[in-house]
Amino acid sequence: MHAMQYELTLPADYDMAVIRARVFRIGHLLDDWDGLGFKTYLMRERGVNGSPVNQYAPFYLWDTVEGMNSFLWGGAFQGLSNDFGRPSVRQWTGLSYEKGGAVGSPARSAVRRRQPVPEGVELAEVMAEAVDETGRLAGEDGALFAAAAVDTARWELVHFSLWAHEAPKADGDLFEVLHVSAPGRERLPRGRQW
């Protein structure tokens, strides 16, 4: 399992209705993408739910590297790059994935929390704690699923959770969910990934 995200931070006066219309128009194009566990089309609006920025920031979980590479090199990502400029694409190696009790409900919000892996810690312990946090988040009321991944170049953990309501019990950046494409959600391996 591989996690991926890019962020398009837009001007403070940007009309976010443009992003909503874009997702409404093209969001369905990945609904059957081979190798994609899911893509959450995420947005933050300046001044809403404490967001300091206007941002479009889709988050992906891939069940195959081939699916991810096909997206990045096969033309789908090129359209976004043509329209907004090519963003930096963050990638993390999957640590854990768990379904929540609200799986199957419409997604309303998502939370992403990034945190550094401190120097001098036992890596096995930190990764086990991330797996435990995935289970805790997935067990909260209204959780559709939760995942954890690590970037070993930056030594950064990312916790991601998707929610059926707008008041999730998770710390981090809160996003509005505009659409979810989940063709391979059932193929994503549950639990610890090692």
Residue 4: φ, ψ to 5°: -150, 145
In tens, the pLDDT along 37-69 reads 999 999 999 999 889 999 999 999 999 999 999
**Integer Cα distance of 149 and 155 in angstroms:** 11
pTM for this entry = 0.95
Which pLDDT value is given to residue 33? 97
Residues 193/106/21/54 CA torsion (nearest 10 deg): -60
- Inter-CA distances, 56 with 41, 152, 164, 181, 189, Å: 8, 25, 20, 16, 27
Of 83, 92, 89, nearest in space to 2 by CA? 92
Distances (CA, A) of 10 to 43, 92, 146: 11, 24, 27
* Predicted local confidence at residue 169, as pLDDT: 84
Q: Decide: 3 and 39 in contact? Cβ < 8 Å.
A: no
- What's the pLDDT score for residue 81? 95
What sign for the dihedral angle of Cα 183, 38, 25, 176? positive
Q: Where are the beta strands (DSSP E) in the chain?
A: 2-6, 8-10, 36-44, 54-56, 59-62, 89-99, 109-116, 143-151, 156-163, 173-181, 191-192
Helices (H), 9-75: 17-26, 65-73
Query: Which pLDDT score is estimated for 19?
Result: 97
Q: What pLDDT is attached to residue 167?
A: 81
Residue 75 has pLDDT above 90, yes or no: no
What is the structure's pLDDT at 108? 97
